[in-house]
Amino acid sequence: MQSIKSALKEFNLEEIRQRANSLSSTNAADAAEVKQFRCKDCKDELGWIKRVPLSDKPFDYMDKWEDCPCAKDRAIERLMKSSHITEKFRQKTLNNFNTDGRPELVKEAYQAAVEYVESYKTIKKTPQNSMALLGKSGAGKTHVLMGVSNNLLKKGVGVLYFPYIEGFSELKDNMDTVGTRLQQLKQVEVLFIDDLFKGGKKDKHTGIKMPSDWEVEKMIEVINHRYLEQKPTLISSERDIADLCDIDEALGGRIHEMCKDYMVIITGGLEMNYRLQ
């Protein structure tokens, strides 16, 4: 009877790979072409493992496997692709946010973001694990929170970007997928809601633009779930806490409670708008 050890010798993984490559080639030129691997250690084997040499110990002849150094990079690439953050927004970091000559509230927002990133591992399972930048348009709220998002993504934290106006436009255009999309917003490790409750129709009595009841209902559903499950949420909005409470008091209260340790409300005039500088 053939020994197990000799049978294992016949099991040559590299030969099997070569056979598979030759079978999948459409012509002789394809078969002869040398494949270029992104990772020389694991040769892109599932993108995240490499072989460890066999031990010299008796009977310890089975192959062993461990994570390849490229595993983390590939995992982060997948997180980036699923984050819905565009290539342009991936360039927005905390390092390239310019605070020189900026108003103190803007510097305060930036510092809060730096502290949030540094404390994330400690606070992520606590009730106050979220961050909100509220108020003046053009002050850099999106850039700062995008910097937080990109920093977390590079550390292997799952982040999903939801731009409020475009996000709800997409939901309304694809009503069949609303349930699935909302489930993603609820379950992702970190959710970044950008420009919460921006726009809307003017109220007949106050003249203030208000979101639709449907939009409010869906945001309550998402934020309430994340509040109860203590899932970190990043929020930018031109509305302050009082404005959010005017839309829905319970929602405004929960956002305040989730974000109060890392919340900056940016007030002021046109000097706060960096786009006009």
Q: Is there a single domain that holds both residue 104 and residue 215?
A: yes
Indicate whether 177 belongs to any domain: yes
Look up the CATH number of the domain holding residue 180: 3.40.50.300
d(CA 273, CA 133): 14
Asked if residue 66 has pLDDT above 70, the reply is: no
Q: Is there a single domain that holds both residue 131 and residue 174?
A: yes
- Residues 6 or more apart whose CB falls under 8 angstroms from that of 91 comprise none
For residue 17, what pLDDT is reported?
45
Q: Is there a single domain that holds both residue 222 and residue 256?
A: yes
Q: Is there a single domain that holds both residue 50 and residue 95?
A: no
Q: Is there a single domain that holds both residue 251 and residue 188?
A: yes
Q: Is there a single domain that holds both residue 11 and residue 63?
A: yes
Task: Give, in order, the Cα–Cα distances in Å from 144 to each of 9, 110, 156, 236.
Answer: 56, 6, 19, 10
| Structural domain harbouring 55 | 4-70
Indicate whether 78 belongs to any domain: no
- Quote the number of domains for the chain: 2
For residue 202, what pLDDT is reported?
85
Indicate whether 77 belongs to any domain: no
Asked if residue 187 has pLDDT above 60, the reply is: yes
d(CA 226, CA 161): 15
- For the chain, give the mean pLDDT: 80
pLDDT digits 0-9 by tens, 228-238: 999 999 999 99
Over residues 119-133, the mean pLDDT reads 97
Indicate whether 63 belongs to any domain: yes
pTM for the whole thing? Answer: 0.74
Indicate whether 173 belongs to any domain: yes
Q: Is there a single domain that holds both residue 90 and residue 59?
A: no
Name the more confident of 10 and 65: 65
Indicate whether 42 belongs to any domain: yes
241: nearest Cα among 227, 233, 251: 251
Name the more confident of 3 and 230: 230
Q: Is there a single domain that holds both residue 29 and residue 152?
A: no
For residue 272, what pLDDT is reported?
72
Q: Is there a single domain that holds both residue 131 and residue 253?
A: yes
**Three-state SS at 43:** coil
Torsion of CA 205, 206, 211, 213, to 10 degrees: -40
For residue 37, what pLDDT is reported?
62
Name the more confident of 8 and 84: 84
Indicate whether 75 belongs to any domain: no
Asked if residue 30 has pLDDT above 50, the reply is: no
Of 70, 100, 118, the domain-final residue: 70
Of 35, 70, 105, the domain-final residue: 70
Q: Is there a single domain that holds both residue 111 and residue 205?
A: yes
Provide the pLDDT confidence category of residue 13 given band limits of 50, 70 and 90: very low
Q: Is there a single domain that holds both residue 185 and residue 257?
A: yes
Over residues 38-66, the mean pLDDT reads 53
Asked if residue 19 has pLDDT above 60, the reply is: no
Q: Is there a single domain that holds both residue 235 and residue 150?
A: yes
Of 49, 70, 91, the domain-final residue: 70
Asked if residue 81 has pLDDT above 90, the reply is: no
- Which of 35-44, 95-104, 212-221 holds the top average pLDDT? 212-221
Of 8-22, 187-201, 251-265, which range is least confident?
A: 8-22
Indicate whether 76 belongs to any domain: no
